[in-house]
Structure 1
Amino acid sequence: MDIELQKLIDLALRKGASHAEVYQSKLKSDSAIFETNNLKRLENSQSEGIALRLWKEGSSGLAVAYGDFDSDKLVDQAIILSTLNNTEIIKPNYSHINLQPHQGEFIPTEQLIASGEDTIRQLRDIYIEAICSGEFIYSEQFTCLVNSVGLHCEYSKSLVNYYLELECSNGKDFLSVHDTKLTQGKIETQQIAKNILERLEWAKKTTSAPKGYIPVLFTPNGAAMLWNTVSEALNSKFVLEKTSPWSNKLQKQVMSNSLTISQNPRYKPHTIPFDDEGTVTQELSLIKKGDLQQFYSNLTSAKRLGIKSTGNGFRPNLKSYPTPVLINLIVEPGKENFKDLIKKLDYGIIVDLVLGEKIDISGDFSVNIDSGYSIQEGSINGRIKDTMITGNVYKILENIIGIANDSRWVNSTYAPSLLAEGLSVIN
């Protein structure tokens, strides 16, 4: 622990705070950026920030500093802000020490460059006219949380995030396909290249999508819009506000009995040992065979619900108070492979990527398909354009007729492809 963090807490207590906590975040990254098939530039960045939260006369105040800062001014600012807030019952987390070993491997910039060049070469060996761009990023993250009642938590990890996009044209038709992956340490670009080449093969011709209420096969990318809404419905904050449609449905069926959903904060690369309030993260059984098991919470929402925090209190940024956030949403895969689900269909569409804003907690949506494909007689017969789907997330999840065994990470969700019946397709 940085000794300055403890000094900051001691200073806050001397100035009249009853409790105090300091949250420290450090991030540095190195990037290799590719444009028009070549390395364009190298970038590196480094940032460090501290958030001081204190309680005085029952109210909390939060002040933030970046880089070098004046401790007295930071504490004074937090005290002033506390006078503007209502009395808060929640206090800092209990005393314990949780120091985690570093996770991940160091990746030199030379390896980022070589991986980018090699992957672009693989793609252009097959599509010589293609224009490729991408970004390969190595980052190191450090998080430390200490408070005035003896809590001290630290963890750090190294990550590699890589994104690659291929653009090509076929006469008047323009096509862009991209993929991304996040790992701890070892760079694994083979799957990215495979995914891009597969979608280029699917898109060799353009065709019209069938209209009306038809089956829709969501890839893990396409299904991401569904899981974002599910995450909100499971949030105890929205349960308390009565905006979640599942507020009064604990131990009741809320989706198809073929679906089982959990949280596992130990899954790499998104491993998180504790939340931003110092509570140890834990595996959660959220939905089991369609039945709602529990909601996730932080200290504030848990106290209001009369339960223990599940360790899901995270800060959207340093200037914000912790709020419930789901980590590592895991959807149990099925037993069929993706191609077998396609073979089941006389007609339908594949949704791989959609355009538009995030679907709100009501679940209703009407979105344009950015990347989609038509299915005819059990096979993919081309890319679809100018097509929209409308429906409701919860209704889709009640009517799942197939789950693939092709789970992959999309942001912090690990989920397979889903086959849903009867969505409205418009073109």
Structure 2
Amino acid sequence: MDLKQIKNQYGLSELEVYKQDTATQKVIFTANELKQLDSQYTEGISLRLIKNKKLGFSARYGKYDLDEMIKEALTISEYSPEVNFEFPEKADNNSKNNERVCLVPAPTSTIDLNLFKTKGENIIDIVQNKTKGTLIDVVFELSHQNEILKNSKDLMTNFNKILYSFSVNLRETNENDFIEIYTAVTEEQIPDYLSYLQEILTLYSFAKKHSDIKSGKCPVLFTQRALKDLLDIIESALNGKMVNERSSPWHDKLGKKVLSEKITLKQDPGFGFMARGYDDEGNEIKKMNLVTNGILENFYFDLITAGRGMPRHAPTGNGFKPSLALPPEPSLLNLILSPGKKSLDEIIKSIDYGLMVDQTMGGLSTNISGNMSLNIDMGFLIEKGEIKGRVKDTMISGNIYNALNNVIDLSNESKCYWSQIYNPDMLLDGFTITSK
């Protein structure tokens, strides 16, 4: 399609078209039984346009009528606020960024679903041999996604990715107790599911013993899985939209200390399973130091938030679509928290009395103030350097920003679970524990 011709036909200032197709193969076990072997293919298109400084959007799955979509987007634009940005241009022929105008042939990949089925059966056999009466849910998935972005300034980008996902959930119900432990990972190769399963079984063995913890203040160790709840809040505080609205407590703190000097956060688009060069708006994704040794260095912006800032900011290449049906919004790619020097075991041995948190009830992502009262889903008493047992009916409360200014230690290994955040385990002070 000739986007320039379509732009002129409708009297538009800008036009952008985004296409996505996704093929997935999935094997699902529920409550120890094979539930589903499934292969799916979906495709869709979305567009954005600007006319009279107003932004319009439309999206379709499957078959579509482009003229109908443009008319819908024009109607939406009439009720939208003015925007102050332009879509990026095609890179200069001599530019090192010229790769973004080159289509990369889409890789193809399929897998025999019986391979996933065999792995799922193996997991269930292992768990049943080590436990009694547990129910196990397992999901293996192969996903191949292809995205093409074009705009009326001759820019074209293409992104292809093949990913393997694995999740496991272990449940056990007894007369006076309920245990549920889960994990999920996504990688570019079939995950080492046995190592993740061993993590689950280790936690299960700790959870079978119960311990009481005293109410009051003590160090809290957030494992790699649980720390994401706190880092989600930090990600929101760095979001250019929140900064523009002055709802971020850091909106006027650039160059100032906002976290413990032990904390360094950065975005590295070339790292991890979602490594890519350009965002869903066609801008180069910047490698950024966000917080260095506790000092706030940068926020992140998409086109809209960069154009609305006072003063205006340059887009950082952080405009990503939450789904095909939604327009881009500010989002980080590969948030990395630099690790420390001690192993997790060494940190545990250093704790005289404390709480280890591995799973929470969640619900923190919208609480940008940082104030929280968080129910512990899976937590353990640590006493004299040893994990004693699982605590029940326990809550921690306090302010996340204050706690992250009181970091005691970080483990020396970072991992990524069910997100694009790579982080170590973190021991910190500043929370109050309430236990029945």
Question: Shorter-chain TM-score category?
Answer: over 0.9
Q: Tell me if structure 1 keeps the 8 A contact 2:3–2:152.
A: no
1:400 match: 407
Task: Tell whether the 8 Å contact from 2:229 to 2:362 is kept in structure 1 after alignment.
Answer: no
- Structure 1 stretch displaced more, 151-160 or 127-136: 127-136
Tell me the equivalent position of 1:95: 90
Alignment of 1:114-263 (within 5 A): 114-169=118-173, 172-263=176-267
TM-score by length of 2: 0.92
Give the deviation of 1:44 after TM superposition: 2.8
Q: CA deviation at 1:9?
A: 5.8
Match of 2:15 in 1: 20
Conserved in 2, the CA contact under 8 Å of 1:209 and 1:384?
Answer: yes
Deviation of residue 388 (structure 1)?
A: 0.4
Question: How far off its partner does 1:128 sit?
Answer: 4.8
Q: What CA distance in whole angstroms lies between the structure 2 residues aligned with 1:41 and 1:321?
A: 32
Distance in 1, Cα, partners of 2:353 & 2:87: 56
Change in 2 beyond 3 A, CA 1:162/1:315: same
Is contact 1:223-1:418 (8 Å) kept? yes
SS state at 1:408 partner? coil
The CA deviation string for residues 11-60 of structure 1, in whole angstroms up to 9 with x for no partner, is 34312223211011222212111023232221232222211212223322
Equivalent residue for 1:414, pick from 405, 422, 427: 422
Aligned length: 422
Q: 2:299 aligns with which of 295, 300, 305?
A: 295
Deviation at 1:252, TM superposition (A): 1.1
Match of 1:45 in 2: 40
Q: Report the alpha carbon displacement of residue 103 of structure 1 after superposing the two structures with TM.
A: 7.0
Give 3-state SS (helix, strand or coil) of 1:398's partner: coil
Following the alignment from structure 1 to structure 2, what is the Cα–Cα distance between the partners of residues 326 and 256? Answer: 21
TM-score of the aligned structures, taking structure 1 as reference length: 0.94
Q: 2:51 aligns with which of 47, 51, 56?
A: 56
User: How far apart, in 1, do the equivalents of 2:64 and 2:230 lie?
Assistant: 43
8 Å Cα contact 1:53-1:61 kept in structure 2: yes
How far apart, in 1, do the equivalents of 2:84 and 2:234 lie?
29
Report matched runs for 1:384-399 at 5 Å.
Answer: 384-399=391-406
Moved over 6 A (4+): none
Q: 2:112 aligns with which of 108, 121, 124?
A: 108
Which residue matches 1:3? none
Counterpart residue type for residue 306 of structure 1: R
**Structure 1 residue 143 displacement after superposition:** 1.1
Any conservation in 1 of the 2:60–2:325 contact (CA below 8 Å)? no
Provide, for residues 196-216 of structure 1, a one-character-per-residue CA deviation record: whole Å limited to 9, x for no partner: 111012112111122101110
- CA distance in structure 2 between the aligned counterparts of 1:103 and 1:187, rounded to whole angstroms: 20
Give the secondary structure class of the aligned counterpart of 1:163.
strand
The answer to whether the aligner puts 1:364 opposite 2:368 as a matched pair is: no
Residues 161 and 198 of structure 1: CA distance in aligned 2, closer, same or farther (over 3 Å): same
CA separation in 2, counterparts of 1:216 and 1:348? Answer: 6
Residues 9 and 22, structure 1, Cα contact 8 Å, conserved in 2: no
Unaligned runs of 5+ in 1: 1-5
The aligned residue for residue 84 of structure 1 is: 79
Mapped pair 1:379 → 2:386: yes
Q: What is the alpha-carbon distance in structure 2 between the residues aligned to residue 255 and residue 394 of structure 1?
A: 7
- Aligned-residue offset at 1:316: 2.5
SS of alignment partner, residue 412 of structure 2: coil
CA distance in 2, matches of 1:404, 1:313: 31
Given residue 219 of structure 1, which amino acid in structure 2 is its aligned partner?
A: T
Shift of 1:218: 0.3
* Paired residue type of 2:285: T
CA drift of 1:166 comes to 1.6
Corresponding residue for residue 424 of structure 1? 432
Alignment correspondent of 2:69 = 74
Which moves more between the two structures, 307-316 or 170-179? Answer: 170-179
Q: Which segment is superposed worse, 51-60 or 274-283?
A: 51-60
Shift of 1:153: 0.3
Question: How far apart are 1:169 and its partner, in Å?
Answer: 4.5
Could you say what secondary structure the match of 2:21 adopts? strand
Residues 34 and 41 in structure 1, CA contact (< 8 A), matched pair in contact too: yes
**CA deviation map 1:307-339 (0-9, x unaligned):** 321100112333433221111110001111111
